[in-house]
Structure 1
Amino acid sequence: MVDLAFSGGGDAKHLLRLGMAVKTIRLSWPGKPPEPRLDGSTATYPDVLDGVDLQLTATAEGYRQVLVVRTAQAAANPDLEQIKLSVSGVGLEAAPARVAGCV
């Protein structure tokens, strides 16, 4: 069984934790995430960037993350072009994904 936990925001070090037994992966947002609004299996972190919400949804396979861009002004934010999430693991090793056919 896989354990999945989303951050409650604020001073939490990690945005989410996913793992089983002693093997766990943790994902961190740059900066402190706000307190999420919960709706079923979805946690919405409002205004992680101006006019942009982060939604994390628990799924049967793990989780899904979506940035919800609420305005045209928010869509023009250059910070959306590259968001660097930190990954750490316990009992695991993180490596960049390689996608076939991409250079």
Structure 2
Amino acid sequence: MNASLILRACRGSLTQFGRDVRAKVLRCADILVGVGIARTKTLTKLANQKEERLQAHTGWVVDITDDFNRDWVLRNTSLAAQWGINGASRALFCAPLWPLTFLD
């Protein structure tokens, strides 16, 4: 299950806000959740998928709102992995997402 929040303004650290949301969901609903934070819904979903792999290092919260972290995630994610492409087509889409950010 996924849920999205649109934040117009957030004082303080977005990472800390994500940790606070995660803690409140756990406390109120007894559900473990991961939090992906980014500037678009697509990047947020990508951050959330990376959170699952990086949970030991991130505390279940991945913030890719800054350019460095966003570019790292895009460089380390293939098209096939992002969109669930398998079989013979997978070889065509094994390139990282990062070069696509330069297309207009």
TM over 0.5: no
Q: Which one scores higher on RCO, CA 8 angstroms, separation ≥ 6?
A: 1
Q: Which has the higher strand share?
A: 1
Q: TM-score, normalised by structure 1?
A: 0.25
Q: TM-score, normalised by structure 2?
A: 0.25
